[in-house]
Amino acid sequence: MNLSESGEHLDAYAILSDIIQRKTHFAEAYYFRGIVSDRAGDKRGALTDYNILLELNQGLASN
């Protein structure tokens, strides 16, 4: 059973979104939320999170 079949993706997505709200520069949260979105079939949401992850990582690399 995968996350989308069990409904656990909704819980994981909510938890990760809460973390992102409190720590907007926490790159790992965007990575994992992207995975959750992808597995739930939300390809657009996953791409959005992965793009934010890339932007955050570029900022870290330039510092």
Domains of the chain: 7-62 (1.25.40.10)
Label residue 18 by pLDDT band (50, 70, 90).
very high
CA 30 from chain center: how many Å? 3
- Which ranges of 2-62 does DSSP label H, i.e. alpha helix? 3-6, 8-22, 27-39, 43-62
CA 4 from chain center: how many Å? 15
Label residue 16 by pLDDT band (50, 70, 90).
very high
What's the mean pLDDT in 11-17?
92
- What's the pLDDT at 1? 39
Please write the tens of the pLDDT for every residue from 20-58.
999 999 999 999 999 999 998 999 999 999 999 999 998
